[in-house]
């Protein structure tokens, strides 16, 4: 009997998805359910006695639970509908190869949809009629263990055997002790047999006691207690480990890799100002690299900083990229539901409100200009640009291609932000260098910014 994995519809042309009409009868729905099964994970839970037998040699871990949170801040991501006007009908929608292109159109299992905005009817190209509640229509690509979440669960459950104290190194250690015990008991037995007045039974008993003393039966539990003591020492320093028996392997580590943002540097961004502005009567400048404070910026630049972002309001809170929230707070504008922005103070000069008509998703494939003067100082530099458009037909702007919209822009300057090092980063790096560890920094930021942070921390890129 030969088993084959299910072939999921993830490599078809774009028109296959836009022309799909779903299931029209209960028989089709039942047939699809029988083939693809429900979108759930069937993970059998072991009984208590099985867990107890596994942990008899590893005390204090029978009732241990994992309450660790994922590292980093949870940032909502904005997804877009599949707009057929941006692609050819024969474009292959391969989510395995073109991840950077198609991931902005994909919802992953296990995520929570916070908001949904109905699509413009002019770009709606699905063959399925609109739902009565104006909901979101989706095409299911994978289910169960075929999803990204399912692959992660399979890796956690079945990728490797559980690490315990009864590993190969422990067995080698016990074997070495056993060799010394056999040699010692052999010498005692040899010397004792040469004495005819000595009791043979007591002689053999002494040999057995030597072996049991050198190789104690409680050794596995003692090794587990050593791991437990290590956990207690780490917990006193607010370091928590969900895999206790991985601690002995930490002694073999000779290369330490750090992520830059949020690990070596702080999560809180600091906005220094905007550079590259033209000198005016409102903003006099002594040199082109002079920074202008956010509150002293021209109105046009403040509108760019306040309106060009992907932030959203959920349950009365502004959520999104920390970089964008920092900029919005420094220019003194508030984001309201419906993508409406208003200044902090009603008596501020300039527009009293602003609305975001259309957003273009961030694409890492598009090259962005970097201002080398501040990038070499470890700052994050973003270019600003704007364009004046007519307000007669705002709906038309939602269908204009991004390449067309981003032509003939007026340069608005470079916004300069800094992500300083954490207070304890220098001490940690110093201790690791003294212990002869090789330090490596891994980052996706600009090369000049990464070089400056690597120089400050004495690490390699």
- CA proximity to 321, closest of 78, 69, 70: 78
Distance CA 333, CA 314 (A): 17
Question: Facing residues of 59 across strands?
Answer: none
| Catalytic-role residue among 83, 259, 321, 339 | 259
With CA atoms as reference, report the closest residue to 354 among 397, 410, 306: 306
259 tagged catalytic: yes
SS3 annotation, 328-365: HHHCCEEEECCCEEEECCCCCCCCCCEECCCCCCCCCC
SS3 readout for the chain: CCCCCCCCCCCCEHHHHHCCCCCCCHHHHHHHHHHHCCCCCCCCCCCHHHHHHHCCCCCCCCCCCCCCCCCCCCCCCCCCCCCHHHCCCCCECCCCCCHHHHHHHCCCCCCCCCCCCCCCHHHCCCCCCCCCCCCCCCCCCCCHHHCHHHHHHHHHHHCCCCCCCCCHHHHHHHHHHHHHHHHHHHHHHHHHHCCCCCCHHHHHHHHHHHHHHHCCCCHHHHHHHHHHHHHHHHHHCCCCCCCHHHHHHHHHCCEEEEEHHHHHECCCCEEEEEECCCCCCCCCCCCCCCCECHHHCCHHHHHHHHHCCCCEEECCEEECCHHHHHHHHHCCEEEECCCEEEECCCCCCCCCCEECCCCCCCCCCCCCCCCHHHHCCCEEEEEEEECCCCCCCHHHHHHCCHHHHCCCCEEEEEEEEECCECCCHHHHHHHHHHCCCEEEEECCCCHHHHHHHHHHHCCEC
Give catalytic residue positions. 259
């Amino acid at each position: 009997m030969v088993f084959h994995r299910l072939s999921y519809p993830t490599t078809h042309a774009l028109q296959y998805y836009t022309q799909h009409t779903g299931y029209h009868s209960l028989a089709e729905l039942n047939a699809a359910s029988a083939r693809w099964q429900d979108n759930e994970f069937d993970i059998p839970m072991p009984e208590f006695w099985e867990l107890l037998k596994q942990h008899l040699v590893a005390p204090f871990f029978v009732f241990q639970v994992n309450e660790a949170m994922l590292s980093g801040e949870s940032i909502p991501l904005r997804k877009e509908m599949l707009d057929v006007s941006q692609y050819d009908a024969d474009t292959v929608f391969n989510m395995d190869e073109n991840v950077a292109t198609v991931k902005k159109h994909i919802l992953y299992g296990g995520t929570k949809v916070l908001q949904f905005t109905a699509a413009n009817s002019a770009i709606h190209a699905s063959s399925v009629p609109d739902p009565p509640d104006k909901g979101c229509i989706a095409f299911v690509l994978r289910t169960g263990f075929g999803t990204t979440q399912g692959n992660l669960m399979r890796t956690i459950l079945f990728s490797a055997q559980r690490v315990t104290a009864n590993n190969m190194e422990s067995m080698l250690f016990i074997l070495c002790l056993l060799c010394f015990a056999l040699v010692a008991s052999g010498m005692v037995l040899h010397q004792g047999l040469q004495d005819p007045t000595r009791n043979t039974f007591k002689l053999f008993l002494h040999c057995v006691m030597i072996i049991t003393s050198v190789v104690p039966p409680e050794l596995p539990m003692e090794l587990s207690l050593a791991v437990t003591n290590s956990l207690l020492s780490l917990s006193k320093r607010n370091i928590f480990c969900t895999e206790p028996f991985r601690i002995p392997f930490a002694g073999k580590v000779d290369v330490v890799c750090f992520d830059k943002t949020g690990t070596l540097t702080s999560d809180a961004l600091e906005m220094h100002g905007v550079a590259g502005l033209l000198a005016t009567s409102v903003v006099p400048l002594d040199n082109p690299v002079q920074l202008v404070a956010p509150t002293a910026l021209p109105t046009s630049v403040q509108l760019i900083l306040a309106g060009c972002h992907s932030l959203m309001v959920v349950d009365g809170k502004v959520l999104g990229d920390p970089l964008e929230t920092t900029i919005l707070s420094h220019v003194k504008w508030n984001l309201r539901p419906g993508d409406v922005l208003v200044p902090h103070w009603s008596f501020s000069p300039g527009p009293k409100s602003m609305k975001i008509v259309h957003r273009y998703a961030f694409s890492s494939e598009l090259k962005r200009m970097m201002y080398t003067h501040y990038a070499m100082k470890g700052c994050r530099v973003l270019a600003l640009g704007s364009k004046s458009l007519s307000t007669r037909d705002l709906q038309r702007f939602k269908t204009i291609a991004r390449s067309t919209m981003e032509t003939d822009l007026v340069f608005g300057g470079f916004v300069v932000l800094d992500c300083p090092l954490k207070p304890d980063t220098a001490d940690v790096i110093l201790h690791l260098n003294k212990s002869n560890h090789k330090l490596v920094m891994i980052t996706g930021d600009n090369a000049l910014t990464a070089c400056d942070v690597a120089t400050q921390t004495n690490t390699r890129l």
